[in-house]
Structure 1
Amino acid sequence: MSNDRPRSSSVVALLADIPSTGHLGDARAQRFTLDGDDLAAQSSDFLDFTGRQLTQGRKIVALYPKWHSSRAERAIRFARGSFQSDHIAAVPVDLAPLTLSLLADQLAYLAPYLPSGLVTALADELPNHMLAGGWLKSVSNLSTIPISVKQHMGSYAPNTTFLAFCAPAKRVGRVKRNNPSPNIPARPVEPIQMLIARPEGQDITAFNERFTPALRPVSAGALPEQPLGAKYWGARKYIEFVAFSAHPEALTHAVRALRPTACTWCREPVIGVHCKFCGAANQPPVGKPPTRNADVPPPPTKTTGEHVRPTWIAQDRRAESAPPAQEPPWPDGGHARPTGAFDPPPHHPAPDDGSRTQG
């Protein structure tokens, strides 16, 4: 009879004005725009949703953009205090709106099959398997991704194009010689799908002619501009994109990349130091996770001397464990070889050239 707790179930909520991409069909995170004049009005819909889910025994994974967080953080604190429950996890995500929308729906798709703790951990892992960013003419007002003074000044030069990435790493690069390939930090596993969002009327010709061929996606879907896109990119003219793997096991690979431990307090699987639900401190595992289905290397062969330990360096274990014996002096004042010592390797003394001092 097992004493393990049953696997917890969760639902995913996105607390921001970030519409769904519709890429995963009916698998969508519950959206809350948090509109209203005060905290009660902003949080009322989220509180009703939270109360229903807690009554049914589900935990809530509440995502929100880290760069647009004030209302979301207040609503989550209000809900945790109102229901006196730590089954509501606050998960800030530092991604662009289009990427965050796709991430929220991916988590909603996986939530019925995974423990709640793993769902929260995947919010940090899944962006490592994407390529997401923006195609910009200026980065002078970009505050969500670090830029250099040179890049800031280069924004005022004519005919300048920048590629700014928010996943898998934050970086900004200037597209030189109309070739964006050197700017791309990584590629998702093929086949690659891509989603693109842009303001109405924004020219996409250069993007399709230069950047899209560099990724070679099997499909590219066009979407309306995200309401918070201009705030994230600090510009009115931009093209936002997210590329991800369309391989059938792409999401499974992301889950297998995790190395969770059980929270010391609530026993949820956690990645990192603090549990997203109860806030307890944990000790993350040391080292890298083992490679799945890795081939075990064969034992070294002994056909050559390369893999054979020389016999003269194998000391007698009894000699190692025994206390050092008092050695009788030799007539010339030296010491005798201790009993049981190993035989040293052959040594040929250098010819006497008369330079050594005679005893």
Structure 2
Amino acid sequence: MADIPSTGHVGEVRAQRFAMRGEGIGERSSAFVAFARQQVDAGRKVVALYPAWRSEDAERAINFARGSMRTDHVAGIAVDLSPLALSLIADQLAYLAPYLPPGMVAALCDELPRHLLAGAWLKTVSGLSTIPTSMRQHMGSFAPSVSFLAYCAPTARVGRLRPADVSRTLPFRPVQPVQLLCSTPDPSITGVFDDNLPQAIQPVATRTLPVQPLGPVYWGTSRYVEFVALSAHPQALAYAAGAIRASYCSWCGEPMSGRPCPFCSADSPRTGAGVRTPQTSRPPVPESAPRPQRRPSPGPAQGPAEGPAEGPAPGRRRAGPVPSDPPSDGTPPPPGGRGAADGRPTPPTADRPEGAPFTGRALWPGTPRTYSR
């Protein structure tokens, strides 16, 4: 819900855009309200993304749609990302929407930015207000040879561009192979960017896209090169979706990973109701995955046995299957007590500076694939 055109990186799948243009708020929000009414009447729910730094018109349009239809099937999600990153996230969510319930789509609005490296090279930060900056950085903007690298995902921070430290100071490295998207209003100023950031990220492909109309508004200057680095691995989106741990809302029943619920605003999950993958869509166990083995039950205390174990002693009842040994490579077991044969990937931790490789992970059959033209 902003003037943020599609990047086209997810092929023909694109989220519906509403530029919010017009003389008054009624004219600016009429197209979205008509779209929301059509979707709700068809039995669907709407997840509306809008930039947190340009939110007034979008919030009023969402509230008007909810109030006029007297429904909680329209959820508004504020995303604090640059225009290029927000455009990519919106199309990725549109690609995943047929595979996931609306509550999980809303939860991915916070999860997907954790798998991106997004930001911009800036000649000056004197007009930057969307990312915190220091007085020293503002004063450094007046020096002719100083430039900056500002990141908005997965964390928001600004630092001076020092060529020797670019690779070491990256806040995140997407899982290989990496694709790099970039855009700029002035192609003549990309020399410093081209000499430093691509060498640190090592992308397999780089795409130059048209400039986003709201890019100068977000970065506070027209002398910038905006970029997004993402994993081009075919299981990247499925892994991000599998990293969410959600529970059902106690009021509307939608999965939610945070509070309050994005649809009905309820602040409590249903007791003991975690979101689980249906039995019909459980991922298959790969042939290379270790399978749990039963330990032989110990016999009576009579010293070491001279032959292989024959099972429990007569007259004794087995208490139940004994859990298998942990993997021999030292990998800790996944949370919740599930063994490796469960086939689900372990979610990434928030403090990990680099994405984990996908080798050996079993995911849902028919998982969505990321690709570019």
TM tier relative to shorter chain: 0.7 to 0.9
Would the alpha carbon gap of residues 262 and 241 (structure 1) be closer, same or farther in structure 2, given more than 3 Å must change? Answer: same
Unpaired runs of 5+ residues, structure 1, are 1-14, 299-359
CA contact (8 A) 1:122 1:255 kept: yes
**1:97 maps onto 2:83 in alignment:** yes
**1:42 maps onto 2:28 in alignment:** yes
**1:69 maps onto 2:55 in alignment:** yes
Alignment of 1:84-233 (within 5 A): 84-177=70-163, 179-233=165-219
- If you compute each CA radius of gyration, which structure gives the higher value, 1 or 2? 1
One-letter amino acid matched to 1:250:
A
CA contact (8 A) 2:50 2:78 kept: yes
CA contact (8 A) 1:134 1:241 kept: yes
CA contact (8 A) 2:186 2:222 kept: no
Number of corresponding residues: 283
**1:29 maps onto 2:15 in alignment:** yes
Would the alpha carbon gap of residues 205 and 58 (structure 1) be closer, same or farther in structure 2, given more than 3 Å must change? Answer: same
One-letter amino acid matched to 2:28:
Q
Q: Which residue in the other structure is 1:53 paired with? A: 39
Shift of 1:208: 1.3
In 2, the alpha carbon distance for the partners of 1:33 and 1:78 equals: 17
Question: Which shifted more, 17-26 or 43-52?
Answer: 43-52
In 2, the alpha carbon distance for the partners of 1:176 and 1:73 equals: 40
CA contact (8 A) 2:186 2:223 kept: no
Shift of 1:285: 9.9
Shift of 1:201: 3.7
Shift of 1:183: 2.7
CA contact (8 A) 1:272 1:284 kept: no
In 1, the alpha carbon distance for the partners of 2:89 and 2:67 equals: 27
CA contact (8 A) 2:249 2:270 kept: no
In 1, the alpha carbon distance for the partners of 2:40 and 2:21 equals: 23
Unpaired runs of 5+ residues, structure 2, are 276-282, 294-373
Which structure has more relative contact order (CA 8 Å, sep 6+)? It is 2
TM-score (normalised: structure 2): 0.72
Q: Which runs of 4+ in 1 moved over 3 A?
A: 283-286, 292-298
In 2, the alpha carbon distance for the partners of 1:268 and 1:181 equals: 41
One-letter amino acid matched to 1:282:
S
Identical-pair percentage: 54
Partner of 1:165, secondary structure, is strand
In 2, the alpha carbon distance for the partners of 1:236 and 1:276 equals: 35
CA contact (8 A) 1:200 1:224 kept: no
One-letter amino acid matched to 1:221:
R
